[in-house]
């Protein structure tokens, strides 16, 4: 009976290594991994080494398990104990990866979960004691990780910056501020904010969508060569923000966040013609997230629920006639 289970474990481990080997070949020929869902891309953006190295580690792990159980059938107890220890090591490593997806990426990689399921299956086939030990390790890591705090610094784990998510930039001759707008194509509040950007100002605007855009253009905007909208969505999640539009202002002391159509439009109409930052925003709606000033107001769309209204107009590139919010004209002193 033990020999049959060892043979089955060796066979499943070998099959898993073949699956990873195929993924490695896809990376080598296509330049990127085959993603089964969007979560794979999110997790890939958070790792510090190329995905091919992760897959190579997985390939050699399953090959090692395969040959350890093969040797255990012929060499005796020493290899059996070593094989069981190696299986538990796999549970520990995969549990850390699952925890990372749960608490940091806030998205699950289907490919990673498939490999995790295979590791759990191998431990279950090794006996009920092995199975209980593996489950204990998994829940222990989950519980301990839930007690830790994860900050937005994970966003930069792949040498990416906020500019990596910028779709396009509209610059001016003498910029006083660098502003990043997080928006969506189907959010009417975002549309109203974008209309308020028309006209000359003293601010550089960076447009960071939370989803892929089919078409979007604004007078004076220069498109970037590439952008990653998932990076923008991840940044908002790490900051505990689940609505758009959001305007981020970079300044010498760090950055500030302004949420909601009303506050953002008011900020743009004032800040991009004045030098004093944030003095014109009502402090009544101010809060703090991880030490970052956040100014909130009504006029927001959920990141998870479509925010459309009947008869809603689309973004500038998708319609020829639009109502526009007149640019702010400062009063003469």
What pLDDT, on the 0 to 100 scale, is given for residue 1? 41
| pLDDT recorded at residue 53 | 92
Distance, CA of 201 to CA of 222 (rounded, Å):
16
Which ranges of the chain have pLDDT less than 70? 1-2, 45-46, 76, 149-160, 199-201, 253, 273-300, 302-333
H-run or E-run covering 77: helix 77-100
Q: Residue 303: its pLDDT value, please?
A: 64
HEC sequence for 217-247: CCCCEEECCCCCHHHHHHHHHHCCCCEECEE
pLDDT for the residue 253: 67
Task: Characterize 87-97 residue by residue with b for buried, 16 or more Cβ atoms within 10 angstroms of its Cβ, and e for exposed.
Answer: bbebbebbbeb
Segments of the chain assigned to CATH 1.20.1440? 2-150
Please tell me the predicted confidence (pLDDT) of residue 151: 53
Q: Range(s) for CATH 3.40.30 in the chain?
A: 156-318
CA–CA distance, 166 with 161 (Å, rounded to integer): 10
Cα separation, 245 vs 184, in Å, equals: 8
Residue 167: DSSP 8-state: S
> What pLDDT does residue 119 have?
95
**How does pLDDT run across 155-191, given as a tens digit for each residue?**
544 456 788 889 999 887 777 788 999 998 888 998 8
Give residue 117's pLDDT.
95
Q: Which two tokens stand for residue 286?
A: 């101010």
| pLDDT (0 to 100) of residue 275 | 46
Copy the structure tokens of residue 142.
Answer: 């989950």
pLDDT of residue 277: 46
Q: According to the model, what pLDDT value does residue 155 have?
A: 53
Residue appearing with tokens 């007078």: 219
- Tokens 């028309």 locate to 198
Looking at residue 297, its pLDDT comes to: 56
41, 110 Cβ separation under 8 angstroms: no
Domain 2-150 architecture: Up-down Bundle (1.20)
pLDDT digits (tens, 9 = 90+) for 181-200: 999 888 899 888 888 877 65
- Indicate the CATH number for domain 156-318: 3.40.30
Please check whether residue 308 is in contact with residue 272, taking contact to mean a CB–CB distance below 8 angstroms. Answer: no
pLDDT at 144: 92
Q: What is the average pLDDT score of the chain?
A: 78
Name beta bridge partners: 292: 289
Residues 158, 41: contact at Cβ < 8 Å?
A: no
CA count, 13 A, side-chain hemisphere, 149: 5
Helix pair 77-100, 110-125: axis angle to 10 deg: 150
pLDDT score, position 118: 95
> CB 112: neighbour CB atoms within 10 A?
20
């Amino acid at each position: 009976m033990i020999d049959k289970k060892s043979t089955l474990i060796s066979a499943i481990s070998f099959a898993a290594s073949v699956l990873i080997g195929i993924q490695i070949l896809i990376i080598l020929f296509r330049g990127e991994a085959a993603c089964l869902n969007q979560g794979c891309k999110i997790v890939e953006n958070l790792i510090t080494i190329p995905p091919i190295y992760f897959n190579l580690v997985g390939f050699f792990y399953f090959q090692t398990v395969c040959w350890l159980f093969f040797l255990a059938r012929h060499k005796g107890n020493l290899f059996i104990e070593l094989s069981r220890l190696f299986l538990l090591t796999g549970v520990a490593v995969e549990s850390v990866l699952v925890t990372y997806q749960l608490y940091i990426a806030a998205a699950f990689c289907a490919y990673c979960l498939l490999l995790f399921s295979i590791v759990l299956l191998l431990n279950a086939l090794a006996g009920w004691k092995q199975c209980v030990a593996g489950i204990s390790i998994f829940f222990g890591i989950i519980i301990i990780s839930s007690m830790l705090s994860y900050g937005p610094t994970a966003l930069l784990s792949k040498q990416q910056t906020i500019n990596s998510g910028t779709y396009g930039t509209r610059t001016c001759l003498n910029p006083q501020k660098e502003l990043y707008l997080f928006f969506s194509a189907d959010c009417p509040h975002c549309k109203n904010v974008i209309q308020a950007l028309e006209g000359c100002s003293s601010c550089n605007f960076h447009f960071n969508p939370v989803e892929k855009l089919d078409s979007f253009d604004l007078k004076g905007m220069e498109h970037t060569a590439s952008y990653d909208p998932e990076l923008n969505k991840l940044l908002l999640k790490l900051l505990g923000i689940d609505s758009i539009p959001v305007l981020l202002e970079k300044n010498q002391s760090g950055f500030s966040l302004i949420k909601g159509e009303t506050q953002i439009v008011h900020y743009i109409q004032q800040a991009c013609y004045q030098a004093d930052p944030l003095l014109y925003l009502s402090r009544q709606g101010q809060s703090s997230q991880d030490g970052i000033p956040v100014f909130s107001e009504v006029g927001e769309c959920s990141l998870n629920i479509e925010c459309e209204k009947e008869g809603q107009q689309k973004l500038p590139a998708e319609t020829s006639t639009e109502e526009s919010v007149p640019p702010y004209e400062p009063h003469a002193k």
